[in-house]
Amino acid sequence: MNRVPCRHYFESVSYTSGNRSTVGYKYCCDMHGWCGLSGWYIFLIIVYCLIVLAIGGAAFWFFFLKRKFGGKEEVEERTETNGTEDIQISIETD
């Protein structure tokens, strides 16, 4: 419907040069708001980026930090269960 004239305007030289004094700019960009990103799209892009960062942080914690600190706990458990420190030898002479 209204996008056909705007499609021709977006392919024109006046749109690519950034001329804002044309009728096509007034009709397509000012009246309909089809030029550039609206605030809603920018908000969605920011939310998606935050979700990707959260997933990356969770993956980093799970695959790197949890295994790194988990490995130290296992090593400490192994050294504690040696049992050589608990043996007491008593030498009594009468």
Q: Please give the Cα distance from 86 to 84 (Å, whole number).
A: 6
CA dist 72 → 59, 60, 68, 69, 82 (Å): 20, 18, 7, 5, 16
User: Among 12, 9, 44, which Cα is nearest to 30's?
Assistant: 9
Which residue range is the domain that position 15 belongs to? 1-36
The answer to the question of residue 64 being in a domain is yes
Q: What pLDDT is recorded for position 49?
A: 97
Q: What pLDDT is recorded for position 55?
A: 95
Q: What pLDDT is recorded for position 23?
A: 87
Domain count for the chain: 2
The answer to the question of residue 88 being in a domain is no
pLDDT in tens, 64-93: 877 767 655 554 555 555 556 667 777 777
pLDDT in tens, 27-54: 888 887 777 766 778 889 999 999 999 9
pTM, 2 dp: 0.41
